[in-house]
Amino acid sequence: MQLNALRYFVMVATTGSFAATAKHFQVPPSSVSRFISGLEQEIGQQLFYRNTRSVRLTEIGENTMSKLGMYLILLISLTSRLQVRVLV
C-alpha cells in the first residue's frame, strides 16, 4: 500500500473531488484516479461512488476513513516531518 494512495484517499474523501486533490498535490487528476483505483483493487473494495459531478464515500470508504483517517493523518504528518529533517 503506497503512502501517496492513502494521502489521495484522505484528500478526496475530505474534498469530494479528484480535481481538487490533484491541484493540491500538483499532479494530474488521472494520477489521483489511478492511485485510488489501485488502492481499491488492493483491498478488494470500492471506496468511492463516482459520477461526472461528484465523488462520495461508499459505506466501506466511510468506515475506512473513520477508522483509519486519524492514523493516516498522523502518519502523513510524521512522514512530512521526517522528510524535512532529512533535508536539513
Structure confidence at residue 1 (pLDDT): 67
* pTM greater than 0.75 (yes/no): yes
**In the prediction, which pLDDT does 86 show?**
56
Q: Which domain holds residue 73?
A: 3-87
Please list, in sequence order, all residues whose beta carbon lies within 8 angstroms of the beta carbon of residue 75, skipping any fewer than 6 positions away.
3, 6
Residue type, 78: L
pLDDT of the chain along its 88 residues, tens only?
A: 687 888 899 899 989 999 999 999 999 999 999 999 999 999 999 999 998 888 999 999 999 888 876 777 787 777 777 765 555 5
Computed on alpha carbons and rounded to an integer, the radius of gyration of the chain in Å comes to: 13
The CATH number of the domain where 27 resides is what? 1.10.10.10
pLDDT at 4: 84
Query: What is the domain count for the chain?
Result: 1
